[in-house]
Amino acid sequence: MGTEKEMSFLDHLEELRWHLVRSTICIMVVAIILFIYQKTVYDDFLLAHLNPDFITYRWFCDAFKKLGMESDFCNITFNAKLQSLSPTNQLMNAMWSSFILGLIISFPYIIWEMMKFITPGLTENEQKKSKGFIFVATLLLILGLLFSYYIIVPMSVYFFYNYQITETIVNNFQFDSYITLITNTLLGVSVVFELPLVVYFLTKFGLITPEFLKKYRKHALVLVLVVSAIITPPDVTSQVIVAIPILVLYEVSIVVSRFLVKKQKEA
């Protein structure tokens, strides 16, 4: 009997291994495709924020004009040339960026593979809900990507390019640091936007409660404002624009946690 349980456990490990292998293959295939078309990926996606006519800059310029306010977004200038200081710098950065973007694009498939592994241990009702979980996870990922690419990244690029302690110091950035800023922001914000699902599972396993989330709401507000101040230009408008969606996600997480606890009590 012990041998059967041991074999059953090993079978589960083997099954998990193949789910991870297929997920890794998906990431690598997407990464290779992105690496092949690296010039297009860099010119039209990763370096697009260095174009003064980028859509976000025009949005903010028009918005401030309608409010009757002057804005530097209407007169943006960038030194679009980035430095590469090592012979292998561009190659290694292209490979790493392709991998990170491949991971982000492959996320829905990875979630699908993980749900295939988990589903056999769920109840029939939970199995039906698993498709909804994949849809919600993908939707939150897309929202996170759009928000980071069109709001946070342009603000960050604008701020760091224009921040200068003294005119004696000239901003002349290394391209790998710049690309890392873009890819890390895209990946990090996408993960943050999965907060409601993370809270769902933490609540399901009894690790947090709606009361806990409400108790530390003020702490979360301070943390969000600090993060917003770090990643945006130093003006209140920009910080509020970034902070609002994150706070909304936090409130949604409280609702999700409360709903789940209520269902558990009814069951």
Q: Where residue 1 falls among pLDDT bands split at 50, 70, 90?
A: very low
How much of the chain, in percent, has pLDDT values that exceed 90? 28
Q: Flag whether pLDDT at 46 surpasses 90.
A: yes
Q: Let me know the angle formed at the C-alpha of 196 by 248 and 118, rounded to the nearest 5 degrees.
A: 165
For residue 77, pLDDT over 60 is answered with yes
Q: What is the pLDDT of residues 79-108, one digit of tens each?
A: 768 888 889 999 999 999 999 999 999 999
Q: pLDDT by residue (tens digit) across 116-141?
A: 887 776 667 666 777 778 888 899 99
Which of 155-164, 168-177, 224-233 holds the top average pLDDT?
168-177
Report whether 105 contacts 30 (CB < 8 A): yes
Burial of 4 (0-12, 13-18, 19+ CB in 10 A): exposed
Mean pLDDT in the chain? Answer: 83
SS3 78: coil
115, 133 Cβ separation under 8 angstroms: yes
Residue 29 three-state SS: helix
**What's residue 32's pLDDT?**
97
Selection from 143, 45, 20 nearest residue 98 by Cα: 45
Quick check: 233 pLDDT over 60? Answer: no
Asked if residues 91 and 35 have their Cβ atoms less than 8 Å apart, the reply is: no
Q: Which of 126-135, 168-177, 239-248 has the highest mean pLDDT?
A: 168-177
Q: What are phi and psi of 174, to 5 degrees?
A: -75, 135
Q: Considering only residues 94 and 217, tell me which one the structure prediction assigns the higher pLDDT.
A: 94
The Cα 15–Cα 121 span in angstroms is 13
CA 143 to chain centre: 9
| Residue 230 banded pLDDT, cuts 50, 70, 90 | low
Whether 42 has a pLDDT exceeding 90, the answer reads: yes
pLDDT for the residue numbered 3: 43
Q: What is the pLDDT of residue 67?
A: 84
In 3-state terms, what secondary structure has residue 83? strand
Mean pLDDT score, 172-201: 87
